[in-house]
Amino acid sequence: MYVISSLKTKLGFIALLLASTGLSAQILSSKQIDSVAEKTLSTFNVPGIAVAVVKDGKVIHSKGYGVRSIKTNLKVDENTLFGVASNTKAMTAAALGMLVDEKKITWDTKVTDVIPEFKMYDAFVTSEFTVRDLLTHRSGLGLGAGDLMIWPDSSTVTKSQLIHNLRFLKPVSSFRTKYDYDNLLYIVAGEVVARASGVTYDEFIETRIFKPLAMSKTAASWYRLKDKTNVIDGHAPYQGKLLPVGLSFGEIANAAGGVYSNVTDMSKWVITMINAGKYGEKLDKQLFSPAVHRELWTPQTIIAGGNPSSFSSYGLGWFLSNVNGKFQATHTGGLSGIVTQVTILPELKLGIIVLTNQQSGAAFNSITNSIKDGYLGITGMDRIKTYNDNRLKNEKQADEIVAKVWTDIEATQKASTVKPDVKNFYATYKDAWFGDVTISERNGKMHFQAKNSPKLKGDMTFYKGNTFIVKWYDRSLDADAFVNFTLNNQGKADGFKIEAVSPLTDFSFDFQDLDFKITEPKK
């Protein structure tokens, strides 16, 4: 999600144009940003994008490009609403900071002091887990662990069930030793906001953050928008075309990625962050204290593998690093068919916001970095070409892997004279945190259906041995998977595990965390 989900170059013309006018090292004008945005739309097949730039406390560019949906072809403007996805996390962290200011909690308050039923897999981790730990991606859980409780659609799992099910997620590293991005603990953080404040998380951020900042169009989720006349549809690429996609989160996940906003309102949020929590015409009002602001932008968890001459870390709701010697706070967000990015260089009093309605991270990176380069004096970079080349390379590799699997399937089916009796696999299976999956016959085919995640349904095809492949009916998911059965001593299935076929499958399809055991054999 998340963390997300899957990632014709024409910027060369811009580079030549800027070089010929002697502007290659200068800040892009609004007209030049327009050109970059339009070329990004066509290069990455994105229907619509909105871009805002704030500098020195003022909005110097705010505009929409393309269309909200390929179904309507209505234009994107600066007021068009997008799901900001995980850029919500910074707001959740700020909400907790406001409660720290009010002395209702501290960053190091134990989670069990606020949510007594909170329980992780390990008892020691449970007893030591703090509010700070909820925000810093160092819990010991693996990348996207448990995300299938909230993704890829409106799951039937409730918030209380989600909190209960955390105890079944096995860690992959020691507590507080390693960065692994997660979403579920931000949902818990939202529940801390609710219990410590006495109002729901949604009500808190809408009345305590959005209202004072005059973010009048913004809401805690799509479901809470008062006016849906100017909202995008998400889009996912499939076999060279775009598919409109529906919502991919239920409301229980609002604190991790629910907020819907536009570049007009998000500019107000970014300016407040640059001003360390101050807002108003004379900056005479304070959303949260300077101490809280420092904590939000203080490195908490080191992210390994970065540039050794720089640093890369996670603070509280923000990725933190330095770029050309300048401190940078940024975050991305991804939902099905939507990806977004917010970038702040506070020393330059610069903020860049890019919202898109297609799930290409290369698109927002191209725009953000093209704009940022001018302020940092970086020259000679064709950002669209760089990101597009990488995208095409990764997609080619993934396509080759997937194509080989299906070629193998066809060859196996032609060559095999003995195939497993699929009736030996028909049963209901249960995973401790995900719930039930039924393998049955439907329309003469082997069929997979998850109880708690309705979108996860599809036909299954024999592959090799005891392994089948499930091909989801919803092709926008781009997450077809191996289903590897285990057999009992009677040669009948007693469980299975799942593994994504494509390496580009979004990490929130955390199939690797599932371990199904049979509960009800079919008679």
Q: For 270-312, how does the pLDDT look when each residue is reduced to its tens digit (9 = 90+)?
A: 999 999 999 999 999 999 999 999 999 999 999 987 677 678 9
| Residue 83, in any domain of the structure | yes
pLDDT 10s digits, 463-507: 988 999 999 999 989 899 999 999 998 888 999 999 999 988 999
Judge whether residue 18 has pLDDT over 70.
no
What is the count of structural domains for the chain? 2
Of 358, 374, 395, the residue that ends a domain is 358
- Tokens encoding 272: 């407040």
| Residue 367, in any domain of the structure | no
pLDDT bucket at 522, cuts 50 / 70 / 90:
low
Residues 353 and 428 in one domain: no
| Residue 68, in any domain of the structure | yes
User: What pLDDT does 11 receive?
Assistant: 31
CA distance 39 to 13: 10
pLDDT 10s digits, 133-169: 999 999 999 999 999 999 887 678 999 999 999 999 9
Judge whether residue 19 has pLDDT over 50.
no
- Residue 448 to residues 303, 333, 441, 511, 513: CA-CA distances in angstroms? 37, 30, 9, 14, 18
CATH of the domain at 256: 3.40.710.10
Instruction: Kindly report the average pLDDT of the chain as a whole number.
Output: 91
Domain of 65 in residue numbering reads as 48-358
pLDDT 10s digits, 212-263: 999 999 999 999 999 999 999 999 998 889 999 988 777 899 999 999 999 9
pLDDT bucket at 417, cuts 50 / 70 / 90:
low
Judge whether residue 10 has pLDDT over 60.
no
- Residue 86 to residues 61, 121, 318: CA-CA distances in angstroms? 23, 25, 10
Q: What percent of the chain has pLDDT over 90?
A: 80
> Measured in whole angstroms, how far is the alpha carbon of residue 60 from the centre of its chain?
28
| Residue 294, in any domain of the structure | yes
CA terminus-to-terminus distance, the chain: 38
329-349: b (≥16 Cβ within 10 Å) or e: bbbbbbbbbbbbbbbbbbebe
CATH of the domain at 429: 2.40.128.50
pLDDT 10s digits, 101-140: 999 999 999 999 999 999 999 999 999 999 999 999 999 9
- Predicted TM-score (pTM) of the model is 0.91
pLDDT bucket at 398, cuts 50 / 70 / 90:
confident
